[in-house]
Structure 1
């Protein structure tokens, strides 16, 4: 058996197991979020809201990780934007938890905000200079009075004449 085929089969099996684990975590996280509605109703609004925000952001993190693993499972590549999105959500969750619990100092919150800024810049640059964006050229803008070409004529005649 070829070592590349063996590697592909092992990574497919591992990602399949991880996808099922993430799916289970997503279901449990959603159930936990729905059960935490009782904290808002029966306890103080502040602690219930804190628990709800934390749970919802955690579910979003699991969804983003799920999306990254599905993309890897289908295309055998990891998109930088998916990982950056998950990391941004983790930082946002930590900022929200720290703000609601008031256990972080302003220095830590500012450092997380700086990290968030760097991650945001990295995300924008990853989208702007994506290899997929280079392979797809934007459609030329049509000038006023021109009809848009569709189908095979667009491929055969990329330059529109007036």
Structure 2
């Protein structure tokens, strides 16, 4: 058996298992979020809102990780944008939890803000310089190069270019 085939089969099996685990975590997380509505009704609004924000952001993190694993399972590549999105959501969750609990000092919040700025810059650069956009720009430039440009009298007489 070829070692590359074996590697592909093992990684496919592992990602399939992880996908099922993430799907289960997503279902449990959604059920937990729905059950935490009782905190808003029976306890203080502040405590209930804190639980809801934490649960919803956690569910979004699981959704983003699920999306990244599905993309890897289908295309055998990891998209930098998926990973930065998940990391941004994790940092936002930590900021929200810490601010509601009022347990962070300004240094920690400032460091998380700098981390968010760096992740945002990485996200923008990943979108701007993605391989998909480069290949489409390359194909457009090839089309332009293969068609000779008409100048002078022939450009004015040809109705297709006008």
Q: Taking structure 2 as the reference length, what is the TM-score of the superposition?
A: 0.86
User: Alpha-carbon deviations, 1:85-136, whole Å to 9, x = none?
Assistant: 0000000000000110000111100100000000000000000001111011
Runs of 4+ in 1 over 4 A off after TM superposition: 156-160
Q: How many pairs align?
A: 147
Question: Which residue of 1 is the match for residue 135 of structure 2?
Answer: 135
Question: Which residue of 2 is the match for residue 119 of structure 1?
Answer: 119
Change (3 A) 1:137 1:41: same
Higher helix share: 2
Question: Which residue of 2 is the match for residue 41 of structure 1?
Answer: 41
In structure 1, C-alpha distance between the alignment counterparts of 2:95 and 2:148, rounded to whole Å = 49
Q: If you compute each CA radius of gyration, which structure gives the higher value, 1 or 2?
A: 2
Q: RMSD in angstroms over aligned alpha carbons?
A: 1.9
Q: Taking structure 1 as the reference length, what is the TM-score of the superposition?
A: 0.86
Q: Which runs of 5+ in 1 are unaligned?
A: 141-155
Q: Which runs of 5+ in 2 are unaligned?
A: 141-145, 150-159
In structure 1, C-alpha distance between the alignment counterparts of 2:137 and 2:126, rounded to whole Å = 17
Secondary structure of the equivalent of 2:77? coil
